[in-house]
């Protein structure tokens, strides 16, 4: 075991930085070459790691090769391999060479651009890249810095942060008019398909949990929230003396990939004066393709919209784009101006200080990552990336519908297919056979899928889209699912 004498300790020695970074990059490249050989979902038991690692931190330095060897032996078996081509669970977290290079630049330069003066290029590049992204998604000018209407965008780490910040802005916009004591009158609306982030945000910002309305959806509307049911819920609350403050619509819901009618919900929301947020965390990336853009029709009625390049846009974790029509609403709620941050540019109101558009003060230079991704791949390749995943999902959906034992439960819109083994007889809820099928596939290590519950049905989710997935992986996984289904159905005969 090696050790460095204290008098040579230089944690940022450029030569050592170069040598050891190369060792890590070689390690990761080797990981990508062999990732397919690992069980996709980790098969370890809880607590496995404390049996392998020392109880105490080392007193002396250890060489990087030793650390990498331990990662290979002890850490990799405890990972669920999100970059495996056979990962079909949750939603994909796309890694890419450009995303990694951008992340390296972000991490290597390690600037903390909380206000403009703390790193002017970090702020200005973020302004530019947010406008680039907005144009790729064909968002209306009201969300762009260059749109001349006061709008603009910011990079957060996650949709959860974006939702908390916009809900805080919505809360304060209303409470400034009616008094802060009236917080118990505010009501937030979402559907039973909306991501749980909204429920969490309601708790965080102090709106009573009882004032969070989860409006049911059904198969008839493709599990999207209808304007009619939103209006009914809002009218009932207003009749009780309550105040609709925030509604979250979704393009590409987590469970089944449903799309809410953005224009219809926006009209209702605007009528009631509520803040209208559109969450396109997963499917927003698809709207760079003209054939998916119509799902955003009416987005000009929204106050804010967010999507995650760290899901389906080849941008390594973490990266969430949030655009706001009136960023001043965020600033009014989130700005603080301690003496130690005062500077001429901020005081002259000439610059964006992103610390006032987010929760934390410190912030990462995420813009450089997204900028490298867009430049390195170009729009043509990014569009192709989305289309090829959608084509594979389409093919998977076709294969499922050709096997009479299965059914596609929700018509596919993007790259997520929701399916199940059909009930075998009258009154069979098919729950146990589908649960068993999922367990068998996941515990085999050959592929990893997750499930959802819709209308009381246990549904298998097959989310196509890791960067390394090819049609051969989808075909092999489908054959494997079919074979396991045969085993289960035979067991029950
Ligand atoms: N919204 C939707 C529709 C999602 O699918 C997800 C994650 O899957 C989220 C929000 C949460 O995103 P984040 O992890 O960036 O907070």
Mean pLDDT by 10 residues, the chain (493 residues): 66 96 98 97 97 97 98 98 98 97 98 97 98 98 97 98 98 97 98 97 98 97 97 98 98 98 98 98 98 98 98 98 98 96 95 98 97 98 98 98 97 97 90 96 97 94 98 98 96 78
Looking from the CA of residue 253, the nearest atom of ligand 1 is 3
Whether residue 254 has its Cβ less than 6 Å from ligand 1: yes
Quickly list H helices, 206-315: 227-239, 262-272, 309-312
Cα 302 to Cα 106, 126, 246, 286, 487, distances in angstroms: 31, 22, 11, 19, 50
Cα 436 to averaged position of ligand 1 atoms, centre (Å): 27
Q: Which two tokens stand for residue 161?
A: 């942060």
Name the closest-CA residue to atom 14, ligand 1.
158
With 0-12 / 13-18 / 19 or more C-beta atoms within 10 angstroms meaning exposed / middle / buried, residue 284 is: buried
The angle that helices 471-491 and 431-444 make with each other, rounded to 10 degrees, is 130
Whether residue 281 has its Cβ less than 6 Å from ligand 1: yes
| pLDDT at 363 (0 to 100) | 97
Cα 71 to averaged position of ligand 1 atoms, centre (Å): 29
Cα 308 to averaged position of ligand 1 atoms, centre (Å): 8
Cα 282 to averaged position of ligand 1 atoms, centre (Å): 7
| pLDDT at 270 (0 to 100) | 98
Q: Is 209 helix (H, G, I), strand (E, B) or coil?
A: helix
Whether residue 211 contacts residue 270, with contact meaning beta carbons closer than 8 Å, is answered with: no
Whether residue 160 has its Cβ less than 6 Å from ligand 1: yes
Whether residue 156 has its Cβ less than 6 Å from ligand 1: no
164-175 per-residue burial string, b: 16 or more CB within 10 A, e: under 16: bbbbbbbbbbbb
First to last CA, the chain: 59
**Cis upstream peptide for 318 (omega within 30°):** yes
Looking from the CA of residue 160, the nearest atom of ligand 1 is 16
| pLDDT at 1 (0 to 100) | 46
Name the closest-CA residue to atom 15, ligand 1.
158
CB within 8 Å of 50: residues ≥ 6 apart? none
Whether residue 250 has its Cβ less than 6 Å from ligand 1: yes
The secondary structure of residue 280, as a DSSP letter, is: -
Name the closest-CA residue to atom 11, ligand 1.
159
Looking from the CA of residue 308, the nearest atom of ligand 1 is 15
Whether residue 96 has its Cβ less than 6 Å from ligand 1: no
**Using CA atoms, how far apart are residues 140 and 346, in angstroms rounded to an integer?**
28
Q: Which two tokens stand for residue 89?
A: 């669970």
pTM of whole model > 0.95? yes
| pLDDT at 8 (0 to 100) | 80
Whether residue 402 contacts residue 390, with contact meaning beta carbons closer than 8 Å, is answered with: no
Name the closest-CA residue to atom 5, ligand 1.
254
| pLDDT at 493 (0 to 100) | 73
């Amino acid at each position: 075991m090696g050790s460095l004498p204290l008098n040579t300790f230089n944690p940022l020695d450029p030569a050592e930085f170069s040598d050891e970074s190369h060792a890590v990059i070689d390690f990761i490249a080797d990981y990508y070459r062999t990732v397919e050989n690992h069980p996709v979902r980790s098969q370890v038991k809880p607590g496995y790691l404390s049996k392998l690692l020392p109880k105490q931190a080392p007193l002396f330095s250890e060489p990087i090769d030793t650390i990498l060897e331990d990662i290979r032996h002890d850490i990799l078996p405890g990972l669920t391999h999100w970059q495996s081509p056979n990962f079909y669970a949750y939603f994909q977290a796309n890694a890419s060479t450009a995303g990694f290079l951008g992340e390296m630049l972000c991490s290597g330069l390690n600037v903390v651009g909380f206000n403009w003066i703390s790193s002017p290029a970090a702020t200005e590049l973020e302004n530019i890249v947010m406008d680039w992204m907005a144009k790729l998604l064909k968002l209306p000018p009201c969300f762009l810095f260059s749109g001349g209407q006061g709008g603009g965008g910011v990079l957060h780490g996650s949709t959860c942060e974006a939702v908390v910040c916009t809900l805080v802005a919505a809360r304060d916009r209303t409470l400034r008019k009616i008094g802060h004591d009236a917080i118990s009158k505010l009501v937030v609306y979402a559907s039973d398909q909306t991501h749980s982030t909204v429920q969490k945000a309601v708790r965080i910002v102090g709106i009573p949990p009882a004032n969070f309305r989860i409006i049911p959806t059904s198969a008839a509307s493709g599990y999207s929230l209808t304007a009619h049911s939103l209006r009914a819920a809002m009218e009932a609350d207003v009749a009780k003396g309550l105040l609709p403050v925030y509604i979250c619509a979704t393009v590409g819901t987590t469970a089944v990939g449903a799309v809410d009618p953005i224009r219809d919900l926006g009209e209702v929301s605007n009528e009631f004066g509520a803040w209208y947020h559109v969450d396109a965390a997963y499917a927003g990336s698809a709207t760079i393709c003209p054939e998916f853009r119509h799902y955003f029709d009416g987005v000009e009625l929204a106050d804010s919209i967010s999507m995650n390049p760290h899901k389906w846009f080849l941008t390594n974790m973490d990266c969430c784009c949030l655009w706001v029509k009136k960023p001043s609403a965020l600033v009014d709620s989130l700005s603080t101006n301690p003496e130690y941050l005062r500077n001429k540019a901020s005081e002259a109101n000439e610059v964006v200080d992103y610390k006032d558009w987010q929760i934390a003060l410190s912030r990462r230079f995420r813009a450089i990552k997204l900028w490298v991704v867009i430049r390195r791949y170009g729009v043509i390749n990014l569009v192709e990336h989305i289309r090829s995943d959608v084509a594979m999902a389409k093919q998977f959906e076709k294969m499922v519908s050709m096997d009479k034992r299965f059914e596609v439960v929700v018509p596919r819109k993007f790259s997520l297919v929701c399916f199940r083994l059909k009930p075998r007889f009258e009154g069979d809820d098919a729950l146990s056979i589908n649960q068993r099928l999922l367990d068998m596939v996941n515990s085999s290590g050959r592929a990893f899928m997750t499930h959802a519950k819709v209308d009381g049905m246990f549904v298998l989710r097959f989310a196509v889209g890791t960067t390394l997935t090819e049609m051969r992986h989808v075909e092999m996984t489908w054959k494997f699912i079919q074979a396991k289904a045969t085993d289960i159905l035979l067991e029950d005969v």
